[in-house]
Amino acid sequence: MAVSKIEVVTPSKRADDGRYLPVDAMRGIAALSVLLFHLLRSSAQSGVLDRVFPGPLKVVSDYARSGVAIFFVISGFVIAYTTRDLGPRVRDGVRFSIRRQVRLDPPYYLVIAGVVFVFSFEHLVPGLVSQHFTLKEVLLNLFYLQGIAGVPSVLAVAWSLCLEVQFYVFVTLLVIGSGLLVRDGAGRARRQQVVRIGALGMGAVSLAFPFLGFSSGPWFVGTWWMFCFGMVICWFAIGQLSGVASLTATGILALWCVALQATGRGDRWGSEWIALLSGVAILVIVMTGQMNWRPPRSLLFFGSISYSLYLVHLPVIDTVMAAGYKLTGNNRPGAVAFYLLGAGVSVAVAVALRHFVESPSMRLSQRLKTARWSSVVPVAWRAPSRE
């Protein structure tokens, strides 16, 4: 069958909360990958474990740090889907941004509070090196500005959340900008085209960065192409982009990854390849009509707690495995035992965070989707309707 004749069907949803199950499973894989990496390389017992674990497990653990790239591709797919019907007015963009942050912020804020609380008491323990954060530094962390402001990050893994928030802001501005450029009420298709052009244009800039010798630092431009790749796949899935165009984009990215590798500009741990393969996996699932496929329950479980697990796993590992090192020292069986304990406690804390904080935040965000505008922002903030 010719690619151009592929019948595109909007992915069906099987989960009760409307989530795409194969994508959720990929979230679970991403979260487990990052957990695996930090258990070995970011713990007080990493030196002991490095002498215990076989070489293949250490190699897998090292490359597992690139699981963050999977999150970026998935985020692009999801954000393109959730903004497909977003209105062109400023109020629509503000409502969307509020809903997104209501969904993300409470779990993040609680984990930051927990880390600051622990650090505030660590200095009381003799011989334990502790870190102190000023009020200004904490506030900048709460607004995802620590990288831009150049202050210490309370939560080490939050660098990716800062980029994600920038992604969302950029997409929201694209949608609002398309509404300002295309003002007629029947211009929905044209507005969507403006959004695609803006996103793909920034994607080209993102791909050019490594070859121009630029570093994006704390800004989203350098990793935008991953996010944009997820958007391209979603546009194909909902019929806004042809199969030929989506496969062409995939081929360009594959050649770009080869060029990075050949010129020595690629990531040592293959994050660009992980992002490419993740996108290809979603694209194949969409093309074969398997979005209603139900992955193994274990992957769906980890997918459901992926955000909470990403937030809590490093503080838990630091605490549990530091305690383990004080108790067992260089004892190898003890290090392995606390490695497993660190993994188990991370999952348990993530389940609690998901149940008591993340799930209520998701429900509140969903209610805001249909809430009257007057209940979301003050009258003075409202922009007049053009449609």
Number of domains the chain is built from: 1
Please calculate the CA angle 331-337-343 and round it to the nearest 5 degrees.
Answer: 135
* AA identity, residue 2: A
Q: Average per-residue pLDDT in the chain?
A: 88
Q: What percent of the chain has pLDDT over 90?
A: 71
> At 342, is the pLDDT very low, low, confident or very high (cuts 50, 70, 90)?
very high
What are the distances in angstroms from CA 149 to CA 119, 137, 146, 209, 218? 21, 9, 5, 22, 9
Q: What percent of the chain has pLDDT over 70?
A: 87
- Domain span at residue 260 reads 3-381
Among candidates 61, 37, 68, which has minimal Cα distance to 226? Answer: 68
Looking at the domain assignment, is residue 303 inside a domain? yes
Residue 363 lies in a domain: yes
Q: 52: number of CA atoms within 13 Å, CB side?
A: 15
Residue 104 confidence class, pLDDT cut points 50, 70, 90: very high
Determine, yes or no, domain membership for 263.
yes
CA dist., res. 145 & res. 156, Å (int): 13
**387 is a domain residue:** no
- What number is the average pLDDT over the span 331-339? 95
- 137-159 average pLDDT score: 96
In a domain, 233, yes or no: yes
Contacts of 84 (CB under 8 A, 6+ apart): 192, 234, 238, 240
Strand, coil or helix: 196: helix
Distance from C-alpha of 215 to C-alpha of 210, rounded to nearest angstrom? 7
Instruction: Specify the amino acid at residue 202.
Output: M
pLDDT digits (tens, 9 = 90+) for 284-294: 999 999 998 99
pLDDT beyond 70 at 328: yes
Lowest mean pLDDT, pick from 30-39, 257-266, 374-383: 374-383
Is residue 23, in this structure, part of any structural domain at all?
yes
Distance separating alpha carbons of residues 55 and 59, to the nearest angstrom: 6
In a domain, 296, yes or no: yes
By three-state DSSP, how is residue 242 classified? coil
In a domain, 386, yes or no: no
pTM confidence score: 0.90
pLDDT of residue 260: 96
| Tokens at 78, concatenated | 């999801």
